[in-house]
Structure 1
Amino acid sequence: MPVKTRFNKLAKKRIIIESFVAFLIILSPFVFKSHEYLPEDENIESIKILWFEMGQNGFGSIEGHGWFIMGKLVPLYLLVIWFFTCKHWWYHIILLPILMYAFQLFELFFTPAELNAITDSQNLMWLLPVCVVVIPFVYFIRLKLYDKHVHGIDLEAMDEELNIIKAKEELRREREKLEQLKKTLEKKM
Protein backbone atom coordinates (compact mmCIF):
# COMPACT_ATOMS: atom_id res chain seq x y z
CA MET A 1 0.00 0.00 0.00
CA PRO A 2 1.48 3.37 -0.93
CA VAL A 3 2.50 5.61 1.92
CA LYS A 4 0.25 8.44 0.78
CA THR A 5 -2.84 6.21 0.73
CA ARG A 6 -2.08 4.88 4.22
CA PHE A 7 -1.49 8.42 5.45
CA ASN A 8 -4.84 9.55 3.98
CA LYS A 9 -6.66 6.68 5.71
CA LEU A 10 -5.00 7.50 9.04
CA ALA A 11 -5.84 11.20 8.60
CA LYS A 12 -9.50 10.40 7.83
CA LYS A 13 -9.71 8.07 10.81
CA ARG A 14 -8.19 10.72 13.08
CA ILE A 15 -10.58 13.39 11.81
CA ILE A 16 -13.56 11.11 12.47
CA ILE A 17 -12.40 10.26 16.00
CA GLU A 18 -11.56 13.86 16.88
CA SER A 19 -14.88 15.08 15.47
CA PHE A 20 -16.72 12.51 17.57
CA VAL A 21 -14.84 13.61 20.71
CA ALA A 22 -15.60 17.27 19.93
CA PHE A 23 -19.26 16.34 19.43
CA LEU A 24 -19.34 14.63 22.85
CA ILE A 25 -17.85 17.71 24.49
CA ILE A 26 -20.30 20.03 22.72
CA LEU A 27 -23.14 17.73 23.75
CA SER A 28 -22.23 17.81 27.47
CA PRO A 29 -24.37 20.84 28.51
CA PHE A 30 -27.38 19.31 26.77
CA VAL A 31 -26.80 15.94 28.42
CA PHE A 32 -26.56 17.67 31.78
CA LYS A 33 -29.81 19.58 31.21
CA SER A 34 -31.64 16.39 30.19
CA HIS A 35 -32.78 15.95 33.81
CA GLU A 36 -35.22 18.83 33.24
CA TYR A 37 -37.32 16.54 31.01
CA LEU A 38 -37.95 14.12 33.87
CA PRO A 39 -41.13 14.49 35.94
CA GLU A 40 -40.92 16.76 39.00
CA ASP A 41 -44.09 15.34 40.53
CA GLU A 42 -43.36 13.69 43.88
CA ASN A 43 -46.27 11.28 43.38
CA ILE A 44 -44.67 9.57 40.38
CA GLU A 45 -42.59 6.73 41.81
CA SER A 46 -40.80 5.58 38.64
CA ILE A 47 -40.65 5.90 34.86
CA LYS A 48 -39.30 3.65 32.13
CA ILE A 49 -36.50 5.17 30.04
CA LEU A 50 -35.27 3.07 27.13
CA TRP A 51 -34.19 -0.25 28.68
CA PHE A 52 -34.27 0.57 32.39
CA GLU A 53 -36.61 1.88 35.01
CA MET A 54 -35.74 5.03 36.96
CA GLY A 55 -37.24 5.76 40.33
CA GLN A 56 -36.92 8.45 42.98
CA ASN A 57 -34.28 6.33 44.77
CA GLY A 58 -34.50 8.35 47.98
CA PHE A 59 -34.70 11.76 46.29
CA GLY A 60 -37.74 14.04 46.40
CA SER A 61 -38.59 13.41 42.75
CA ILE A 62 -37.36 11.57 39.69
CA GLU A 63 -36.12 14.90 38.34
CA GLY A 64 -33.96 15.38 41.46
CA HIS A 65 -32.55 11.90 41.04
CA GLY A 66 -31.80 12.66 37.37
CA TRP A 67 -30.13 15.93 38.32
CA PHE A 68 -27.86 14.10 40.75
CA ILE A 69 -26.98 11.44 38.17
CA MET A 70 -26.20 14.02 35.48
CA GLY A 71 -24.10 15.99 37.99
CA LYS A 72 -21.89 12.91 38.29
CA LEU A 73 -22.12 11.44 34.79
CA VAL A 74 -21.25 14.53 32.73
CA PRO A 75 -18.03 15.40 34.64
CA LEU A 76 -17.12 11.70 34.55
CA TYR A 77 -17.33 11.41 30.79
CA LEU A 78 -15.58 14.76 30.27
CA LEU A 79 -12.74 13.61 32.54
CA VAL A 80 -12.48 10.31 30.65
CA ILE A 81 -12.20 12.24 27.37
CA TRP A 82 -9.55 14.45 28.95
CA PHE A 83 -7.62 11.42 30.23
CA PHE A 84 -7.52 9.74 26.82
CA THR A 85 -6.64 12.91 24.91
CA CYS A 86 -4.16 14.49 27.33
CA LYS A 87 -0.56 14.54 26.12
CA HIS A 88 1.01 15.91 29.31
CA TRP A 89 3.22 13.86 31.62
CA TRP A 90 0.81 14.22 34.57
CA TYR A 91 -2.28 12.78 32.88
CA HIS A 92 -2.38 9.77 35.25
CA ILE A 93 -3.47 12.07 38.07
CA ILE A 94 -6.78 12.56 36.20
CA LEU A 95 -7.60 8.98 37.24
CA LEU A 96 -8.34 10.19 40.77
CA PRO A 97 -11.36 12.39 39.94
CA ILE A 98 -12.49 9.82 37.35
CA LEU A 99 -12.56 7.13 40.01
CA MET A 100 -14.19 9.47 42.49
CA TYR A 101 -17.11 10.16 40.14
CA ALA A 102 -17.29 6.49 39.12
CA PHE A 103 -17.53 5.39 42.77
CA GLN A 104 -20.18 8.02 43.45
CA LEU A 105 -22.28 6.68 40.56
CA PHE A 106 -21.65 3.12 41.72
CA GLU A 107 -22.87 4.06 45.22
CA LEU A 108 -25.92 5.76 43.77
CA PHE A 109 -26.99 2.77 41.69
CA PHE A 110 -26.12 0.00 44.14
CA THR A 111 -27.13 1.57 47.46
CA PRO A 112 -30.67 0.93 48.70
CA ALA A 113 -32.97 3.96 48.37
CA GLU A 114 -33.31 4.46 52.13
CA LEU A 115 -29.50 4.77 52.44
CA ASN A 116 -28.99 7.27 49.60
CA ALA A 117 -28.85 10.11 52.13
CA ILE A 118 -25.25 9.02 52.79
CA THR A 119 -24.22 8.81 49.12
CA ASP A 120 -20.77 10.34 48.48
CA SER A 121 -19.61 9.55 52.00
CA GLN A 122 -17.39 6.46 51.62
CA ASN A 123 -15.47 7.39 48.45
CA LEU A 124 -12.20 8.24 50.15
CA MET A 125 -11.64 4.70 51.41
CA TRP A 126 -12.18 3.29 47.91
CA LEU A 127 -9.85 5.87 46.38
CA LEU A 128 -7.06 5.42 48.92
CA PRO A 129 -5.48 2.32 47.29
CA VAL A 130 -5.52 4.03 43.90
CA CYS A 131 -3.99 7.18 45.40
CA VAL A 132 -1.23 5.12 46.99
CA VAL A 133 -0.23 3.87 43.53
CA VAL A 134 -0.94 6.85 41.26
CA ILE A 135 0.39 9.75 43.37
CA PRO A 136 3.93 8.36 43.90
CA PHE A 137 4.07 7.29 40.23
CA VAL A 138 3.22 10.82 39.05
CA TYR A 139 5.52 12.39 41.67
CA PHE A 140 8.53 10.34 40.53
CA ILE A 141 7.87 11.23 36.89
CA ARG A 142 7.71 14.88 37.95
CA LEU A 143 10.99 14.58 39.86
CA LYS A 144 12.78 13.11 36.85
CA LEU A 145 11.44 15.83 34.55
CA TYR A 146 12.18 18.58 37.09
CA ASP A 147 15.75 17.37 37.58
CA LYS A 148 16.33 17.12 33.84
CA HIS A 149 14.73 20.36 32.64
CA VAL A 150 15.09 22.70 35.63
CA HIS A 151 18.32 21.58 37.27
CA GLY A 152 19.87 20.26 34.08
CA ILE A 153 20.51 16.87 35.66
CA ASP A 154 20.29 14.16 33.05
CA LEU A 155 20.33 10.84 34.88
CA GLU A 156 20.99 8.87 31.70
CA ALA A 157 23.99 11.04 30.87
CA MET A 158 25.24 10.63 34.43
CA ASP A 159 24.90 6.85 34.15
CA GLU A 160 26.80 6.92 30.88
CA GLU A 161 29.58 8.99 32.46
CA LEU A 162 29.78 6.60 35.41
CA ASN A 163 30.05 3.64 33.03
CA ILE A 164 32.86 5.38 31.15
CA ILE A 165 34.70 6.12 34.42
CA LYS A 166 34.28 2.49 35.52
CA ALA A 167 35.60 1.26 32.18
CA LYS A 168 38.62 3.59 32.43
CA GLU A 169 39.28 2.38 35.97
CA GLU A 170 39.16 -1.25 34.78
CA LEU A 171 41.62 -0.44 31.98
CA ARG A 172 43.93 1.31 34.44
CA ARG A 173 43.89 -1.73 36.73
CA GLU A 174 44.59 -4.05 33.80
CA ARG A 175 47.49 -1.82 32.70
CA GLU A 176 48.91 -1.88 36.24
CA LYS A 177 48.68 -5.68 36.30
CA LEU A 178 50.46 -5.86 32.96
CA GLU A 179 53.17 -3.48 34.22
CA GLN A 180 53.64 -5.62 37.33
CA LEU A 181 53.80 -8.75 35.20
CA LYS A 182 56.30 -7.09 32.85
CA LYS A 183 58.54 -6.07 35.81
CA THR A 184 58.46 -9.55 37.29
CA LEU A 185 59.37 -11.08 33.92
CA GLU A 186 62.25 -8.62 33.43
CA LYS A 187 63.64 -9.49 36.90
CA LYS A 188 63.57 -13.21 36.09
CA MET A 189 65.48 -12.70 32.88
Structure 2
Amino acid sequence: MEIKQQKSTEGKLKFRQTDKKNNKVILKGSLIATFIALTPYLFYLYESVPDTKVWNTFLFTYESKVYESAHVVAWTLSGKLIPLLLLLIWFFTCRHWWYHVLLVPIVMYTYQTISFITSDTGIFDEFQLLYLVPVMAIVVPSIYLIRARMFNKLNTANKTLEELEEEFKIKPTTFWEKVKQYF
Protein backbone atom coordinates (compact mmCIF):
# COMPACT_ATOMS: atom_id res chain seq x y z
CA MET A 1 0.00 0.00 0.00
CA GLU A 2 2.80 2.40 0.92
CA ILE A 3 4.61 1.63 -2.34
CA LYS A 4 1.53 2.60 -4.37
CA GLN A 5 1.20 5.87 -2.44
CA GLN A 6 4.90 6.59 -2.87
CA LYS A 7 4.70 5.95 -6.65
CA SER A 8 1.57 8.06 -6.84
CA THR A 9 3.29 10.90 -4.96
CA GLU A 10 6.38 10.63 -7.19
CA GLY A 11 4.19 10.69 -10.28
CA LYS A 12 2.35 13.79 -9.07
CA LEU A 13 5.67 15.50 -8.27
CA LYS A 14 7.05 14.73 -11.75
CA PHE A 15 3.81 15.97 -13.30
CA ARG A 16 4.04 19.24 -11.34
CA GLN A 17 7.69 19.74 -12.36
CA THR A 18 6.83 19.03 -15.99
CA ASP A 19 3.83 21.33 -15.73
CA LYS A 20 6.02 24.16 -14.35
CA LYS A 21 8.57 23.59 -17.11
CA ASN A 22 5.83 23.66 -19.76
CA ASN A 23 4.46 26.89 -18.27
CA LYS A 24 7.92 28.50 -18.55
CA VAL A 25 8.26 27.35 -22.16
CA ILE A 26 4.79 28.66 -22.99
CA LEU A 27 5.55 32.00 -21.31
CA LYS A 28 8.87 32.41 -23.16
CA GLY A 29 7.25 31.44 -26.45
CA SER A 30 4.39 33.85 -25.85
CA LEU A 31 6.79 36.72 -25.13
CA ILE A 32 8.81 36.00 -28.27
CA ALA A 33 5.66 35.67 -30.41
CA THR A 34 4.27 38.92 -28.99
CA PHE A 35 7.53 40.75 -29.75
CA ILE A 36 7.56 39.40 -33.32
CA ALA A 37 3.92 40.41 -33.78
CA LEU A 38 4.73 43.93 -32.53
CA THR A 39 7.71 44.50 -34.87
CA PRO A 40 5.66 46.38 -37.51
CA TYR A 41 4.56 48.81 -34.79
CA LEU A 42 8.11 49.10 -33.49
CA PHE A 43 9.35 49.83 -37.00
CA TYR A 44 6.87 52.66 -37.46
CA LEU A 45 7.89 54.38 -34.21
CA TYR A 46 10.18 56.53 -36.36
CA GLU A 47 7.08 58.40 -37.53
CA SER A 48 6.81 59.97 -34.07
CA VAL A 49 10.23 61.61 -34.53
CA PRO A 50 9.98 65.16 -35.91
CA ASP A 51 11.52 66.07 -39.25
CA THR A 52 13.89 68.63 -37.75
CA LYS A 53 17.63 68.86 -37.31
CA VAL A 54 17.39 69.08 -33.50
CA TRP A 55 15.03 66.84 -31.57
CA ASN A 56 14.37 67.86 -27.96
CA THR A 57 12.76 65.45 -25.54
CA PHE A 58 12.54 65.42 -21.75
CA LEU A 59 15.23 62.68 -21.71
CA PHE A 60 17.74 63.98 -24.25
CA THR A 61 18.46 66.35 -27.10
CA TYR A 62 19.56 64.86 -30.41
CA GLU A 63 21.17 66.87 -33.20
CA SER A 64 21.46 65.26 -36.62
CA LYS A 65 24.75 66.44 -38.11
CA VAL A 66 25.02 64.44 -41.31
CA TYR A 67 21.42 63.83 -42.35
CA GLU A 68 20.04 67.09 -40.95
CA SER A 69 16.84 65.31 -39.95
CA ALA A 70 16.21 63.28 -36.82
CA HIS A 71 13.31 61.64 -38.69
CA VAL A 72 15.68 60.20 -41.34
CA VAL A 73 18.07 58.94 -38.65
CA ALA A 74 15.21 57.21 -36.77
CA TRP A 75 13.92 55.69 -40.02
CA THR A 76 17.37 54.35 -40.93
CA LEU A 77 17.98 52.96 -37.44
CA SER A 78 14.61 51.21 -37.35
CA GLY A 79 15.39 49.72 -40.76
CA LYS A 80 18.60 48.23 -39.30
CA LEU A 81 17.58 47.33 -35.73
CA ILE A 82 14.27 45.55 -36.39
CA PRO A 83 15.75 43.00 -38.87
CA LEU A 84 18.73 42.56 -36.52
CA LEU A 85 16.44 41.78 -33.58
CA LEU A 86 14.40 39.34 -35.67
CA LEU A 87 17.58 37.60 -36.84
CA LEU A 88 18.79 37.32 -33.25
CA ILE A 89 15.49 35.76 -32.19
CA TRP A 90 15.72 33.35 -35.10
CA PHE A 91 19.33 32.48 -34.24
CA PHE A 92 18.65 31.80 -30.56
CA THR A 93 15.46 29.82 -31.18
CA CYS A 94 16.48 27.84 -34.29
CA ARG A 95 17.25 24.16 -33.82
CA HIS A 96 18.31 23.32 -37.37
CA TRP A 97 21.89 22.31 -38.13
CA TRP A 98 22.43 25.30 -40.44
CA TYR A 99 21.53 28.06 -37.96
CA HIS A 100 25.16 29.28 -37.72
CA VAL A 101 24.75 30.75 -41.21
CA LEU A 102 22.48 33.35 -39.58
CA LEU A 103 25.64 34.85 -38.04
CA VAL A 104 26.54 36.36 -41.43
CA PRO A 105 23.51 38.70 -41.72
CA ILE A 106 23.63 39.33 -37.96
CA VAL A 107 27.22 40.57 -38.23
CA MET A 108 26.34 42.58 -41.34
CA TYR A 109 23.40 44.37 -39.66
CA THR A 110 25.44 44.91 -36.49
CA TYR A 111 28.27 46.45 -38.47
CA GLN A 112 25.87 48.65 -40.44
CA THR A 113 24.16 49.86 -37.26
CA ILE A 114 27.42 50.62 -35.44
CA SER A 115 28.96 52.36 -38.43
CA PHE A 116 25.76 54.38 -38.95
CA ILE A 117 25.72 55.51 -35.33
CA THR A 118 29.40 56.47 -35.35
CA SER A 119 29.42 57.82 -38.87
CA ASP A 120 30.19 61.47 -39.49
CA THR A 121 30.54 61.09 -43.24
CA GLY A 122 27.14 59.64 -44.11
CA ILE A 123 28.65 56.65 -45.95
CA PHE A 124 28.02 53.55 -43.88
CA ASP A 125 27.27 50.64 -46.21
CA GLU A 126 30.38 50.87 -48.36
CA PHE A 127 32.91 48.29 -47.09
CA GLN A 128 30.99 45.93 -44.83
CA LEU A 129 31.94 42.90 -46.92
CA LEU A 130 35.56 43.32 -45.85
CA TYR A 131 34.49 43.01 -42.22
CA LEU A 132 32.28 40.01 -43.01
CA VAL A 133 35.10 38.00 -44.60
CA PRO A 134 36.49 36.61 -41.29
CA VAL A 135 33.01 35.60 -40.13
CA MET A 136 32.19 34.02 -43.47
CA ALA A 137 35.59 32.28 -43.54
CA ILE A 138 34.62 30.42 -40.37
CA VAL A 139 30.87 29.95 -40.82
CA VAL A 140 30.64 28.84 -44.47
CA PRO A 141 33.25 26.03 -44.30
CA SER A 142 31.79 24.86 -40.98
CA ILE A 143 28.32 24.60 -42.47
CA TYR A 144 29.71 22.84 -45.53
CA LEU A 145 31.54 20.30 -43.33
CA ILE A 146 28.40 19.60 -41.29
CA ARG A 147 26.42 19.18 -44.51
CA ALA A 148 29.06 16.86 -45.99
CA ARG A 149 29.11 14.82 -42.77
CA MET A 150 25.33 14.52 -42.85
CA PHE A 151 25.26 13.33 -46.44
CA ASN A 152 28.13 10.94 -45.78
CA LYS A 153 26.12 9.38 -42.95
CA LEU A 154 23.01 9.42 -45.12
CA ASN A 155 24.77 7.40 -47.80
CA THR A 156 26.23 4.87 -45.35
CA ALA A 157 23.22 4.49 -43.05
CA ASN A 158 19.54 3.89 -43.46
CA LYS A 159 18.47 7.14 -41.81
CA THR A 160 16.27 9.81 -43.30
CA LEU A 161 17.42 13.39 -43.66
CA GLU A 162 15.04 14.41 -40.86
CA GLU A 163 16.59 11.85 -38.49
CA LEU A 164 20.09 13.12 -39.30
CA GLU A 165 19.01 16.71 -38.83
CA GLU A 166 17.53 15.77 -35.46
CA GLU A 167 20.85 14.11 -34.54
CA PHE A 168 22.82 17.28 -35.35
CA LYS A 169 20.50 19.61 -33.43
CA ILE A 170 21.98 21.25 -30.37
CA LYS A 171 19.45 21.40 -27.57
CA PRO A 172 20.71 23.58 -24.72
CA THR A 173 18.32 23.84 -21.81
CA THR A 174 18.81 27.50 -20.93
CA PHE A 175 19.46 30.74 -22.79
CA TRP A 176 22.90 31.08 -21.22
CA GLU A 177 23.89 27.56 -22.26
CA LYS A 178 23.01 28.47 -25.82
CA VAL A 179 25.10 31.65 -25.60
CA LYS A 180 28.04 29.76 -24.00
CA GLN A 181 28.22 27.22 -26.81
CA TYR A 182 29.45 29.96 -29.17
CA PHE A 183 32.32 31.19 -27.04
TM-score range, shorter chain: 0.7 to 0.9
The correspondence for 2:146, drawn from 131, 141, 144, is 141
The correspondence for 1:104, drawn from 112, 116, 119, is 112
Q: Distance in 1 between the 2:58 and 2:125 partners? A: 25
Partner of 1:54: 62
Partner of 1:16: 27
Q: TM-score, normalised by structure 2?
A: 0.74
Structure showing greater radius of gyration is 1
Alignment deviations for residues 93-143 of structure 1 (CA, whole Å, 9 cap, x no partner): 00100110001111011222xx12x11112112111111111111110011
Alignment deviations for residues 10-44 of structure 1 (CA, whole Å, 9 cap, x no partner): 10100110001001100110111111111013xx3
* Higher relative contact order structure (alpha carbons within 8 Å, sequence separation ≥ 6): 2
Q: TM-score, normalised by structure 1?
A: 0.72
User: Is residue 2:43 matched to residue 1:35?
Assistant: no
Q: Distance in 2 between the 1:53 and 1:87 partners? A: 43
SS at match of 1:54: strand
* CA gap 1:49/1:73 in 2 versus in 1, 3 angstroms: farther
Instruction: Tell me the number of residue pairs that the alignment of Structure 1 and Structure 2 aligns.
Output: 146
Q: 1:48, CA displacement in angstroms?
A: 3.6
Letter of the aligned partner of 2:96 in structure 1? H
Q: 1:64, CA displacement in angstroms?
A: 0.7
Question: Which residues in structure 2 correspond to 1:32-181 (within 5 Å)?
Answer: 32-41=43-52, 44-48=53-57, 50=59, 52-112=60-120, 115-116=121-122, 118-149=123-154, 152-154=155-157
Q: Which has a greater percent of helix?
A: 1
* CA gap 1:85/1:57 in 2 versus in 1, 3 angstroms: farther
Are the counterparts in 1 of residues 62 and 70 from structure 2 also a CA contact under 8 Å? yes
Q: Distance in 1 between the 2:89 and 2:100 partners? A: 13
SS at match of 2:56: strand
Letter of the aligned partner of 1:23 in structure 2? T
- Of all paired residues, the percent bearing the same amino acid is 35
Letter of the aligned partner of 2:83 in structure 1? P
Partner of 2:179: none
Are the counterparts in 1 of residues 54 and 61 from structure 2 also a CA contact under 8 Å? no
Letter of the aligned partner of 1:78 in structure 2? L
SS at match of 2:156: coil
Q: 1:55, CA displacement in angstroms?
A: 3.0
Q: Distance in 2 between the 1:87 and 1:19 partners? A: 18
Q: 1:53, CA displacement in angstroms?
A: 4.2
Q: Distance in 2 between the 1:132 and 1:46 partners? A: 42
Are the counterparts in 2 of residues 57 and 65 from structure 1 also a CA contact under 8 Å? no
Q: 1:153, CA displacement in angstroms?
A: 2.3
